A and B are shown apart, each in its own frame.
Chain A
Amino acid sequence: MNAILESKPEEKKPATAPVKSRRRFPTELSIFLVLIGIGLVFELFGWIVRDQSFLMNSQRLVLMILQVSIIGLLAIGVTQVIITTGIDLSSGSVLALSAMIAASLAQTSDFSRAVFPSLTDLPVWIPVVAGLGVGLLAGAINGSIIAITGIPPFIATLGMMVSARGLARYYTEGQPVSMLSDSYTAIGHGAMPVIIFLVVAVIFHIALRYTKYGKYTYAIGGNMQAARTSGINVKRHLIIVYSIAGLLAGLAGVVASARAATGQAGMGMSYELDAIAAAVIGGTSLAGGVGRITGTVIGALILGVMASGFTFVGVDAYIQDIIKGLIIVVAVVIDQYRNKKQRKR
């Protein structure tokens, strides 16, 4: 490149040159061990309390991952938002809104009280595109408000959370939308949600690690001012990141309504918090600049194992929440402590 530098005289020995990169200890390993540990604890309790295996039950494991995949989709989106030092509180509500709108376009003509009687038996791509579009739009609005007005993401997405939920209710005056076509419900059938979740996870894992999009996302979270000085169009990029988070919430809405074979305005209630918890348990820093999709996936699995395990062992639902809250905090404390130790070394 720089002909100038090439011609530099008296090249000193590379005593100062970088040495070969050493393999790094994957940061997700510790959180993965926590996942295994929790699984083993339930395994132990399973034998004590119910005299059967917790892990050696493929049906239960599939069900567990199924439950995780909806929140997992939201968590993948919110992870990217958090890396930019933002937050997205609207994902649960956007899920509901897109579920309602997608479902209303996926009804069969056998049903006499369809939302749009003239728009029944449509090809399956129409409700899917509508659901994704609604999510994308909501995310783009979030991102634009944050990037252009500069108000805190917490406030902007809080507003969207309330409004989108209201809109979902207003859409059918609170009535559930049911009798969906078979081709639509197939999206949520069997292991489809898990496949969708994993494919999306792989896509964004690659996007964050190997593309310009990913580098810019980390750069903005690391130092917004330096990012701008380095020629990154910060506003445009933020809008893209929030739009992607919205799109994934829309996708989660489609999958959730297809799986439940109904669209309901109350869907995804407080899912946004579970999604944030999954990201944070997985090592994403709320201070920005740090976080990986692999961690988030493991974080989501931890939430799933806990929910499934507690039910299996027969712990009261209220106590489940108490313990879940504790584990979220403890996971982050351990992670922070570990990072500090690694730095000091």
Chain B
Amino acid sequence: MIKLTAIEKVYRTSTIETLALDNINLEIPKGEFVSIMGPSGCGKSTLLNVMGLLDNPSKGAVEIDGMEISRYSDKKLARLRNQKIGFIFQSFHLINDLSVLDNVEIPLLYRTSTGRSRRELAKEALEKVGLSNRMKHFPSQLSGGQKQRVAIARAIVGKPEIILADEPTGNLDSVMGAEILNILLQLNQEGATIAMVTHDEQMARKTNRLIRLFDGRQVS
């Protein structure tokens, strides 16, 4: 589903050059749930961004579902993200000015769909994460765990095949964290391919495979 070949990512400023990813070769087959671990600053998020087509690698090739994307235009990449990938972030990134339902609808805005079908799908996604009673609320009225569930609903509303989660439980207490992990496991059961960055060894152990990074290199 996701294939990275000889990926290198270099950040350059006028004075310094940082190698964030160094020769990463990785293949995640369809339906697998992998977790990515490593100390802070080792390139976990960068790796996830490269997989999610949010950041271009300096070298190497990214394949999503068999498509090599290095020559894709901004528009084509956007369409691919929209159709294939759902994102979940540590700090939720909900839009505070929009209601829960409007937040969840966002990915569908960039597809051809009617208002009514968007509503239906968004409601369905919220039901799945157990928040159908909070649709009219605004993010500021929700707890951390609820916000992350809204973010998950937003990630899955477009029925993407890939879910990329960047420390989805990092801002939550252990009970909430476990709850979020269960939802992700459930989505994986239903067929989603998931890559999750985490600091929590216990959680990582519940996934199919654990990838460790150190200083931009894959160590296991």
Instruction: Check if A and B associate.
Output: no
Interface residues of B (CB under 8 A from A): none
Interface residues of A (CB under 8 A from B): none
